[in-house]
Each structure stands twice: as structure tokens, then as C-alpha cells.
Amino acid sequence: MSSGDDIPQAARHWDGRYRAAGRLWGDGPSELARLAVARLRPYATPDLHVLDVGCGYGRDTRYLAAELGCRVLGLDPSPAAITAARRQRSTRLDIDFVASDLADYAAGLVEDGRFDVVFACNVYHLLGPVGRRQFAAALGAAARPGGLLFLSTLSPRDARHYAVGRQVLGEERSWVDKVYLHFSSAQELETELAGFELLDLDERSYEERNPGGVHHHTSWFVEGRRR
């Protein structure tokens, strides 16, 4: 895999990992999901409609729905991930899962079907330059005007992954070590997410606990409002 713009190959990679390893990141919510819940709790109603992009096996989908009492749709291009998410779906929660790429799904939305909140945890850094631009446009298409964005992506200060593997020729801050990873600057995010008014752009270091142990990460956490 030489770049993050080969979507079919990337989908096959993650499909294989989900089939082989199951719940790759454990069952607890991501750091971004905890942040989103804290920010959204004052506005939580059953009518709040959230899109969880790159939901994997649905750990954040379930957490957002349980904590906010809202409707959440989990979207992921990996059929194996969606199959696993559906197996763990609770009838107590207003959630559903669809196997689809964001751009394809967003292209079919009409204005009154857009989401109050779009949520994208650790997807952006897996995409190449073209993919990131398309993804940012699709996030804007999926959010209603005034809708909120919560997004996390790796920072160049992430000591675990930055500069590990083979650098991608012609790209700044992009490396391939099993998978393609891009490490965005603040300026990049401000430019590429121009369809959103950025309310918060915060670089955070945190610990992620999963079946493989404790991992230390540094990521950008973005909160934005659809223009």
C-alpha cells in the first residue's frame, strides 16, 4: 500500500484485521467519544441524530447512543466490522449500522436527512491527500447546516507512529508501516476542513487501553460547526 487513496485496498486491509482480531481497540469508548459526550450532553434528546463515520465494530456508536439517548448511525466500509457491530446491537439503543464508504453514503442524502452531528474518530489519518479532501467534503455533505463535527486524527507529535516505516514520496508527514498514516498540521486541518467553522482545535496526549496493552498517542481533536 503506497498511499491512503487506494480505498478498496484499504477496506480489504481493515476487513481482514476485523475478521482476524475482532475488537481491535477493546470495548470502551474512544477519547473522542468521551469528549463529544461531554460537549453534547446539554443538547441530548432522542431527536438528536449522529453519524459515526468509520464506526468499526460499533464501540463508540453504542456509547454515544447510551450516554446521549439519541439516534446514531454507524458507517464503515468493512463488511466484517459491520457484521460484528450488528451482533452487539442492543434493542435498548436507537442505533443502526450500514456498510458503506462515507462519500457514497453522503451522495445519497437529501437535506432533511442530514445529521445534527458527524463524528469521525481516527479515520482522517488513514487517507491520502485526495482522500482527505473528498472525506472533508463528504463530512460537510452529511452534516446539516449548523451541525457539529467531532474529529480526531494523529499529530506529528505522536511518538508511537510518527516517522515509523517508509516515508511516502512527494508527501509531507506521511508514512507506511503496514498501513498508510498521515500526520496533519493545524494549518492543514484548518484549510481542509474549511466547510466547518472550527470551534476547537486541540492537540492532546492520552492513553488508549486495548487488548494489546496501553498505547500513548498524541492527536488533534477537532470540534466544528457546519457553515
With respect to residue 205, please indicate whether it lies within any of the assigned structural domains: yes
Q: What pLDDT score does 208 carry?
A: 84
Alpha-carbon gap, residue 161 to 40, rounded angstroms? 30
Q: What pLDDT score does 154 carry?
A: 98
With respect to residue 166, please indicate whether it lies within any of the assigned structural domains: no
- Domains: count for the chain: 1
Alpha-carbon gap, residue 81 to 94, rounded angstroms? 19
With respect to residue 175, please indicate whether it lies within any of the assigned structural domains: no
Q: What pLDDT score does 21 carry?
A: 57
Q: Are 5 and 101 in contact (CB under 8 A)?
A: no
CATH number for 56: 3.40.50.150
- pLDDT (tens digit per residue) in 5-14: 765 566 676 6
**Domain containing 98: what range?**
7-20+28-156+185-226
Q: What pLDDT score does 209 carry?
A: 79
Q: What pLDDT score does 9 carry?
A: 63
Q: What pLDDT score does 1 carry?
A: 38
Instruction: Give the pLDDT means over successive 10-residue stretches in the chain (227 positions).
Output: 58 67 75 97 97 96 98 95 92 96 95 95 96 97 98 97 96 94 98 98 91 87 98
